[in-house]
Amino acid sequence: MTGAESTAAAPVVARVPVLNAANALTALRLMLVPVFGVSVILSGMTHAGWRIAACLIFAVASATDLVDGWIARRFGLVTSVGKVADPIADKALTGAALVLLSWYDRLPWWVTAVILARELGITALRFWVIRHGVIAASRGGKIKTALQILAIAWYLWPMPAALAAVGPWIMGAAVVVTVLTGFDYIAQALRLRRPTP
């Protein structure tokens, strides 16, 4: 085989570094989780100023979810590590928020339990099938996360009772989409594990 032939037969595949801007934003989201948690605890869900601070920190952390995905796709920085870490960082943030809202009696515990069971279950599922392929976040999964974020922000921000009454409806929609997308991922995982004929 000549040198020219060997070059043509072996296309150059650029390796995407794991330490890139998109994954750094995902890591930032994880690091903001304890900062957010402390601000909710300082608010005790009664102090308006700390509640606003907690909501703003939550919003900034949530915004990194939009930006990291966009950067990864726009600049070709999509990595398997990022595909797995991104949903985990989302779950850490929303999970912490839901537990704290229930802890302060703002949200029924069953809501937090249902959402956490789905989120932890799907994370375990992702690791269970990882040898067969990566289950990346689906469009439904992104809508689910957006609904959860909106609902949590609604609960965090101090607002008049008439507006606050909308919060449970948004959270209800989030619960429904959370459960339905969970079933969709289970179907994907079973397809990945199915032996190829």
* Contact flag: residue 82 with ligand G3P (CB under 6 A): no
Which stretch in 27-35, 102-110, 139-147, 151-159 sits in contact with ligand G3P by CB under 6 A? 139-147
The closest alpha carbon to 117, from 129, 107, 125, 105, belongs to: 125
Rounded to the nearest whole angstrom, what is the least distance from the CB of residue 10 to ligand G3P in the complex?
35
* Contact flag: residue 188 with ligand G3P (CB under 6 A): no
Pick the closer one to ligand G3P by CB: 125 or 156: 125
* Contact flag: residue 95 with ligand G3P (CB under 6 A): no
Residue 145 belongs to what H/E stretch? Answer: helix 139-156
Rounded to the nearest whole angstrom, what is the least distance from the CB of residue 164 to ligand G3P in the complex?
25
Tell me whether residue 115 is exposed, middle or buried, using C-beta atoms within 10 angstroms of its C-beta: 0 to 12, 13 to 18, 19 or more: buried
Count the neighbouring beta carbons within 10 Å of the beta carbon of residue 45.
18
Question: What single letter denotes the amino acid at residue 70?
Answer: W
Pick the closer one to ligand G3P by CB: 55 or 137: 137
d(CA 151, CA 173): 9
d(CA 15, CA 137): 22
* Contact flag: residue 145 with ligand G3P (CB under 6 A): yes
Pick the closer one to ligand G3P by CB: 51 or 126: 126
Instruction: Classify the phi-psi angles of 15: left when phi > 0, otherwise alpha if psi is within -120 to 50, otherwise beta.
Output: beta
Site string for ligand G3P, 13-52 (x = CB under 6 A): ----------------------------------------
d(CA 91, CA 178): 12
71 contacts 21 by C-beta, under 8 angstroms: yes
* Contact flag: residue 125 with ligand G3P (CB under 6 A): no
Rounded to the nearest whole angstrom, what is the least distance from the CB of residue 90 to ligand G3P in the complex?
3
Rounded to the nearest whole angstrom, what is the least distance from the CB of residue 168 to ligand G3P in the complex?
21
Residues at the interface with ligand G3P (CB under 6 A): 65, 86-87, 90, 122, 137, 141-142, 144-145, 181
